[in-house]
Amino acid sequence: MTDVFAVSDNILSPLGMTSAENFERLKEGVSGIRLQEDKSISDEPFYAALFDLKMDEELAASIPLSRNFTKFERLLIASVRQALAGSGVDPADPGTALIISTTKGNISLLEAAEPVPDLTTNIALHTSAKKVAGYFQFVSQPLVVSNACISGSLGIITGMRLIRSGRYRHAVIAGADLISKFVLSGFQSFQAVSPEPCRPFDKDRLGISLGEGAATLILSGNKALIRGASIKVAGGSTGNDANHISGPSRTGQELGTIIQKALGESGVTAEDIDHISAHGTATPYNDEMEAKAIFLTGMSRTPVNSLKGYYGHTLGAAGLIESIITIASMKEDLVIPTMGFRKLGVTVPIHVAQSFLPTKLEHCLKTASGFGGCNAALVFSKLNASYTA
Amino acid sequence: MNKEKYIISSCSISPAGVRKDGSLLYDRDDRPLGDFLLSLYTHSGMDYPKFYKMDRLSKLGWLASEILLKDATWIKELLPEEVGIVLSNAHASLDTDIKYLATTKEFPSPAVFVYTLPNIMIGEISIRNNFKGENGFFIFDRFDAGFLEQYVSCLIDEGHLRSCICGWVDVGEEDYRAALFLVAGDPPDSAAPPGHPGLLFTKTNMDKIFMEDTL
Amino acid sequence: MNIYIRSAASISPQPAFGDDPLSAKPAIPIGNRLRAIEPDYSSFIDPKQIRRMSRIVKMGVAAAHACLREAGETMPGAIVTGTAYGCLEDTGIFLSRLIEQQEEMLSPTSFIQSTHNTVGAQIALMLQCTNYNNTFVHRGFSFESALLDAMMLLWEGAATTVLAGSVDEITDSSHAILERFGLYRRRFPPIAGEGAAFFLLAGEPTDNDYAQLEGLHTFYRPHSIGEVEDQIRDFLSARSLTMEDIDLVLSGGHPTAPIFKDKECIGFKHGSGEYPTASSFALAYAASILRAEKTIHKRILIYNHYLDIHHSLMLVSKC
Amino acid sequence: MTSNKYTKAPVYVAGLGVISAIGSNVAECLDALEHERPGMGEIDTLDTLHRKQFPVAGVKAGNEELAASLGVPPGVSRTALLSLIAAKEALASSGLEGRSSWRIGMVSANTVGGMDKTEHFFKSFLEDPKKGRLKDVVGHECGSITEWVADRLGIHAYTTTINTACSSSANALYFAARLIRHGILDVVLAGGTDALTKFTLNGFNTLMILDKEYCIPFDEDRRGLNLGEGAGYTVLVSQQVADSLQKAPVCRLTGFCNRNDAYHQTASSPDGKGSYLAMQGALESGGLQPSDIDYINLHGTGTQNNDLAEGTAIQRLFDPRYPKMSSTKSFTGHTLGASGGIEAVFSALSVQRDLIYPNLRFRTPMKELPFTPETRLIKNIPVKHVLSNSFGFGGNCSSLIFSKL
């Protein structure tokens, strides 16, 4: 089976404009979550990691004809542009796929005070995907994944599968989501938004903090494109709890099954996993379910982190941002601690990383879960010595 | 060489009517979608109180899946994680997005908000049937049978799934259309109705059914 | 006042007339039934709407659109439709469900669209046309009534253009019933037909008109062929014409009547099949012949009868 | 509007005939209208599941009785029987009899033809396509109803049938008047007919616009319509014919207009655009001002949608001086293809006899409208011009104006 390599990436977040910048901020222990007082989003102040105006202006200035693009599309373009630069992957190659992951895309158009012309067309996710594809002159038709909070992870899994099946040689997977009144009010209506910066897996966790961000991961079946330490996407799986549309499984069994399938596909066992980058949204139910799945699959001693304390929950971008940080961690053999975590607050024993943990990272697991009962698991593996030049 | 895969069954729902395996079950119906779905539900003698709280997109997909799976008793013999759902559409959850936004003027409704994601429909079908296999929701400007053939074949070939419900479920501003396909790699004997030609799972066959059924 | 046929469009079992209507491909019956060749409706109708329409509505709306498109007219001064049977398919569906489901859990769609004026209404709806709209449902005179209404509107100056036409469909049920009536046993040609034809009529000529409509006349249950011939002679002489002035007859019956002797006479029902509004096909045929560049014909008489009950005459000439 | 010889010639109403749930002829109907006797009751001519559920305004006689009164064999569609009864009365009252030299035509309307018989046929036909009595579908077509009646009356010069749903027979009068103005005919029997059928009863039931009680048109608490049946005909004549009659005509038909709402297949636009255009056009064609209208015989079906749309259009056209109004569907129910004909007869009588009919059971004004319909019969105030509205599925909106001689 074709190996699929992670050859280039970008994270565009309130913490920085490149993956490297982002990873540096994490190493400095900086979180993007702030108390936000934007009245256009919420009457009450709330905690979230949002782009400031300056960042958007910079983005706008850097994209020709940026007026033709929405903020959501500008984020995608800026992130894809960064990731493509020097990657050796050519959008004009019909063998290059473009996959866009998002949950709500241009939803803010719906909130606009003035009626937006051609609203239905402009708000459609495939429209944004076509605009981004057109900007880079992708030849292949772009693919949009919109599968709640596993969208980013599912984008990577889909890219991996399309390369393995021989349909494409490269896949550019870009994800983004913005926090609008629509999204925030929805999570607030669920009483799911934490009144303080979120605290994944913590005993006193009170819910999520939302975040904005975009990220791009470029996968390729061509190992010649690998730069630096080489990471492959070894396996991935998705599935459904078949339990409840807005609450996760009580047992974690389903996520456990998905994890095992991903491990099996990657040819590794639970013991081989050196680190787990969990979804860890800091809602009571999600973290409990994930902990149970980790426990059930025999990885209670594997260092687990959640990056939500730095980025907030970036929805459709989360799987991508967190996978890219995991890849960076593997390259530096460094587990990033779980910001906001103090004391374990789940009913099964798992090892939540609380401080920087320098350790050899050969195989890492990334999990994600979302509304609709969906789960995803991805395994990243460092290449065998034989692959490295 | 990968094994052949078959469309064991198909179901379509649109204003042009409701069809199962090509034959018309319900006539053309141009009532507003909500009224039509409720009538289809009542008509079919289904009893699933959760139906009433679903949004229109989920109702549409769920009803199509119920009709699709009606005689597929063999599917119960598969493990939950061997059956997956891969769906697509053009409008994502726009229909409900608009409704949710209206509720925010007064009191944001969590019951509506949860349906502002198109994959909730996958959750509803999964809960009903205890399907726990692969999930995927993709957005295209139009029905892309080529992608479905590619992606679902890959899921079956690589051993992720033995059977998959795939297709298109879309609720636009004035229109709706659902076309679901029940796909399996090695259909048990009981799967194919007598005289069923064993339609191959191909882009061409899906396109043909999609066009003939819903236009 | 003269009436001009600015454009004509038809959907019929006969393939498109093309540049040389007199040698167009013939229609091919299946058994004793000719089915209209339906176009790709998506070039006339929004696909969202197509799914909501029955076959007869699609045929009517598409023919109307094609006709308007050709004339470059977006807002006709009136819409007048003729249909003998109306929306049979939906009538049949609603009636069947009513009986099968014993009056319970019926869907309104087929009832709503069973109304005879559905085609005219859908055309108005699509054009957002609030002008005069009428539907005639008088058996073999349905189209002729619509045509007379259109002509009167133009004479009155109530409209400068009128979209007039007709549409009828065969369904399996209607065909089975008409067959039991012996309709296709007794009469010539013994083939059931269907179709739609629409015309944009105007009181003022333009450079691109298909033809000029010089006259229309209907008569009911003539006692003999002789009476038919008298009617034809009177119709022509009222316009100071005789059979000498006619160089082609399109006949929907009695093609061997003595009055047609020595005339080029073509039976048009080979292309349309027999149905109550088949005369609209003949008018579209005649208009297309007169418009064709190489035509030698100047003036065409259309004679039709439906079941020997409803007889009509139309006189069309080259502009 | 352009004015030419075809738009100016006067058209007279010389005869009237009607049969409905409130009476089998003009005199009986007038008596019921004057004494506030509605015609609704339990369904008795249809074998239907909805018998107890919805009141209908049926003609109080079975088919055999109707056929016998006409001296025709039984087995004919009820639609045709009702038509012939009213048509005969209209011709008889016109003072035309014995004058066969005129070119006499018939323009009739109905919406479902011989559906009452087709329903019987189809039941057997569905079981076996070889079954079902063909005699029952001979009169299925709308046009064959008119033809049967015209044949009985010896009318051959010109006959046609119009079906624009519930506005059908108003359009029949309109078309007939134009045939006279164009000099194509001298006399036209114009109106419409429809019988109760399971088809229409169930059809309107699927639309959820049938009232389970007696309908209350233009009331804030209106719940829907009651179906009715019947037929109504006028005899329209040219000036030349009118001059030759032994007695004075009933009134003149002075204004008419047909417009389309172009909004929805079954629903009226909220602002009643089509209704407004039809009423306005009718006034214009008659050379009249809104203030000339003394009474509006409303379409007033009693559905939420119609009454609001019609009322809004009336407000726009007539504000602030409203004529008296009422919906006689509160007596006759909604007789579909016959309603324009029946109401044309009532409107002509209103002009002739200075009568304004009550809108039965009205209690609460609609909150959207500044006017209310009349609740009591009004006599002896001069009624010079009456506007009669008929609106239907497919957005068809037609208005007629009847004027004193």
pLDDT, tens digit (0-9, with 9 covering 90-100), for D130-164: 999 999 999 999 999 999 999 999 999 999 999 99
Chain B residue numbers with beta carbons less than 8 Å from the beta carbon of A148 are 117, 119-120
CA distance linking residue C13 with residue C193, whole number of Å: 7
Q: A208 and A256, same structural domain?
A: no
**In total, how many domains does chain A have?**
2
pLDDT at C26: 82
Q: What is the mean pLDDT of residues D325-333?
A: 98
Distance from CA of C158 to the nearest CA of D (A): 7
What's the Rg (C-alpha) of chain C?
19
Minimum mean pLDDT range among A86-100, A317-331, C20-34, D79-93: C20-34
CA distance linking residue D253 with residue A138, whole number of Å: 71
pLDDT tens digit sequence for A190-229: 999 999 999 999 999 999 999 999 999 999 999 999 988 8
Distance from CA of D164 to the nearest CA of C (A): 5
Q: What are the residue ranges of CATH 3.40.47.10 in chain C?
A: 3-202, 212-317
Q: Which of A52-66, B54-68, C99-113 has the highest mean pLDDT?
A: B54-68
pLDDT at C256: 82
Cβ contact, residue pair C173, D129, below 8 Å: yes
In words, the CATH class of domain C3-202 is: alpha beta
Cβ contact, residue pair C109, B28, below 8 Å: yes
| D159 residue type, one letter | T
Would you say B123 and A374 are in contact if contact means Cβ atoms under 8 Å apart? yes
**In the structure, what pLDDT confidence band is assigned to residue B187 with cuts at 50, 70 and 90?**
low
CA distance linking residue A140 with residue A93, whole number of Å: 8
C103 touches chain D (CB under 8 A): yes
User: For chain C, which residues score pLDDT lower than 50?
Assistant: none
- The percent of residues above 70 in pLDDT, for chain D, comes to 99
Distance from CA of A153 to the nearest CA of B (A): 11
Cβ contact, residue pair A110, B158, below 8 Å: no
Q: How many Å separate Cα C187 from the centre of its chain?
A: 20
Q: How far is CA A164 from CA A27, A56, A159, A387, in A?
A: 34, 37, 9, 18
pLDDT at A387: 41
Which of C47, C93, C109 comes nearest B215 by C-beta? C47
Chain A residue numbers with beta carbons less than 8 Å from the beta carbon of B52 are none
Helix (H, G, I), strand (E, B) or coil at A173: strand
Among the listed residues A170, A198, A275, A279, the single catalytic one is A279
Would you say B21 and B10 are in contact if contact means Cβ atoms under 8 Å apart? yes
Cβ contact, residue pair D163, C117, below 8 Å: yes
pLDDT at A174: 98
Which of C47, C105, C112 comes nearest B42 by C-beta? C105
**In the structure, what pLDDT confidence band is assigned to residue B192 with cuts at 50, 70 and 90?**
low
Chain B residue numbers with beta carbons less than 8 Å from the beta carbon of A190 are 110, 113-114
Q: A244 and A218, same structural domain?
A: no
> Are there at least 3 beta-carbon pairs closer than 8 Å between A and B?
yes
Chain C residue numbers with beta carbons less than 8 Å from the beta carbon of D145 are none
Distance from CA of C59 to the nearest CA of B (A): 14
Q: A338 and A220, same structural domain?
A: no
| D314 residue type, one letter | I
pLDDT at A153: 98
- Domain stops at, among A225, A246, A272: A225
- Residue of chain C whose alpha carbon sits nearest to that of D137: C177
Domains of chain B: 6-214 (3.40.47.10)
Cβ contact, residue pair B151, A158, below 8 Å: yes
Q: What's the token pair of residue C261?
A: 């002797």
What rounded mean pLDDT belongs to chain A?
95
Q: What's the token pair of residue D235?
A: 């005899």
CA distance linking residue C282 with residue C269, whole number of Å: 8
Q: What is the mean pLDDT of residues B43-57?
A: 94
- Substitution target in D188, D202, D260, D268 with the highest count of C β-carbons within 10 Å is D260
- Substitution target in B50, B114, B165, B170 with the highest count of A β-carbons within 10 Å is B114
CA distance linking residue D335 with residue D111, whole number of Å: 10
A334 touches chain B (CB under 8 A): no
- Substitution target in B25, B26, B27 with the highest count of C β-carbons within 10 Å is B27
Q: A243 and A220, same structural domain?
A: no
Q: A214 and A283, same structural domain?
A: no
Cβ contact, residue pair D206, C106, below 8 Å: yes
Q: What is the mean pLDDT of residues D324-342?
A: 98
Q: A103 and A13, same structural domain?
A: yes
Cβ contact, residue pair D260, C104, below 8 Å: no
pLDDT at D99: 64
pTM recorded for the entire structure: 0.89
Closest C-alpha to A12, from A79, A106, A99, A83:
A79
CA distance linking residue B17 with residue B43, whole number of Å: 14
Cβ contact, residue pair A189, B109, below 8 Å: yes
Q: How far is CA A62 from CA A68, A84, A133, A169, in A?
A: 13, 16, 17, 29
CA distance linking residue A376 with residue C78, whole number of Å: 61
Which of C54, C105, C110 comes nearest B43 by C-beta? C105
Q: What's the token pair of residue A215?
A: 């990220």
Chain D residue numbers with beta carbons less than 8 Å from the beta carbon of C99 are 119, 122-123, 126
Distance from CA of C48 to the nearest CA of B (A): 6
CA distance linking residue D145 with residue D163, whole number of Å: 12
The parent domain of residue A52 ranges over 5-225
The answer to whether residue A78 scores a pLDDT higher than 80 is yes
Which of C118, C128, C138 comes nearest D160 by C-beta? C138
pLDDT at A187: 97
Catalytic residues of D: 166, 299, 334
In a domain, A104, yes or no: yes
Which of C85, C94, C138 comes nearest D203 by C-beta? C94
pLDDT at A66: 86
pLDDT tens digit sequence for A91-106: 999 999 999 999 999 9
Distance from CA of A7 to the nearest CA of B (A): 23
**In the structure, what pLDDT confidence band is assigned to residue A300 with cuts at 50, 70 and 90?**
very high
Cβ-Cβ contacts under 8 Å between B and C: the total is 43
pLDDT at B195: 44
> Which CATH number applies to D11-244?
3.40.47.10
Q: A348 and A201, same structural domain?
A: no
- Residue of chain C whose alpha carbon sits nearest to that of D150: C220
Cβ contact, residue pair B31, C93, below 8 Å: no
Q: What is the mean pLDDT of residues D79-103?
A: 91
Helix or strand run (H / E) with residue C59: helix C55-71
CA distance linking residue C209 with residue A150, whole number of Å: 63
Q: At A210, which CATH number? A: 3.40.47.10
Domain boundaries, chain D: 11-244, 251-403
Cβ contact, residue pair C107, B174, below 8 Å: no
- Domain stops at, among A181, A201, A225: A225
Helix or strand run (H / E) with residue A24: helix A19-27
- Residue of chain D whose alpha carbon sits nearest to that of C123: D262
pLDDT at B44: 87
> Which CATH number applies to D251-403?
3.40.47.10
Q: A258 and A186, same structural domain?
A: no
pLDDT at D96: 87
pLDDT tens digit sequence for C186-207: 656 668 999 999 999 999 999 9
Q: What's the token pair of residue A257?
A: 């099954």
Chain C residue numbers with beta carbons less than 8 Å from the beta carbon of D203 are 94, 106, 108, 111-112, 114
Same fold, D11-244 and D251-403: yes
Instruction: Give D 142-161 residues with CB within 8 A of chain C.
Output: 142-144, 146-147, 156, 158-161
- Residue of chain A whose alpha carbon sits nearest to that of B131: A242
pLDDT tens digit sequence for B107-132: 999 999 999 999 999 999 999 999 99
What's the Rg (C-alpha) of chain B?
17
Identify residues of B whose CB sits under 8 angstroms from chain C CBs: 14-16, 26-31, 36, 39, 42-43, 172, 174-175, 177, 214-215
| B17 residue type, one letter | G
**In the structure, what pLDDT confidence band is assigned to residue D5 with cuts at 50, 70 and 90?**
confident
Q: A253 and A187, same structural domain?
A: no
Q: A189 and A289, same structural domain?
A: no
What rounded mean pLDDT belongs to chain B?
92
Distance from CA of C197 to the nearest CA of D (A): 19
pLDDT at D2: 56
pLDDT tens digit sequence for B128-176: 999 999 999 999 999 999 999 999 999 999 999 999 999 999 999 889 9
In words, the CATH class of domain C212-317 is: alpha beta
ipTM score above 0.90: no
Would you say A345 and A318 are in contact if contact means Cβ atoms under 8 Å apart? no
- Domain stops at, among A200, A225, A250: A225
Size of chain B in residues: 215
pLDDT tens digit sequence for D171-191: 999 999 999 999 999 999 999
Cβ contact, residue pair C110, B15, below 8 Å: no
Instruction: Give C 119-138 residues with CB within 8 A of chain D.
Output: 120-122, 124-125, 127-138
CA distance linking residue A335 with residue A18, whole number of Å: 19
Distance from CA of B110 to the nearest CA of A (A): 5
pLDDT tens digit sequence for D41-64: 999 999 999 999 999 999 999 999
Among the listed residues A170, A198, A275, A313, the single catalytic one is A313
